[in-house]
Structure 1
Amino acid sequence: MKFYNHIMSYFWLAIALGSFGIVTFNGFTMGFGRWASYYVFTAVAVGMFFMKKWMMKRTEKHEAYLKDEAQKKNQNM
């Protein structure tokens, strides 16, 4: 699962870079008045990248906490 989460976080980064490139190119060729609103998709993809990173760290901390609690419980028995 760790590998999948790592790949998906960089998937969102790739989507952000791709959408930024496409929107910028189309903005220069067809006019930014028409394409500027599509930068929202880039912002959402960047947000998903950072959300994924934050959730991965949070999950690792929670798993470590649960493992520690299980060890404490086993020592008390």
Structure 2
Amino acid sequence: MAWLNGREVTISMSRRGNCWDNACAESFFALLKKEWTKPLGTIERSDMGDEVRYYIDEFYPKMRRHMTLGGLTPSAYAANS
């Protein structure tokens, strides 16, 4: 904790054992693995890095539709808000 405080790092978790702290991140990474990386199978590390970057920068925000956003992509939803 002192190491973080000494570097002015703000801890984002609310309290020990609060399972909701990481719900959004856990959901995103579960989708990344299930939808994108698992179907790729075994590929080179550099290729996997390229695939993950594409998913994060292009596919997820610009092409993946979300029912909680009314069937819009995150980019389209943000543009309409």
TM over 0.5: same fold?
no
The higher-RCO structure (CA 8 Å, 6+ apart) is: 1
Which has the larger helix fraction? 1
TM-score by length of 2: 0.27
TM-score by length of 1: 0.28
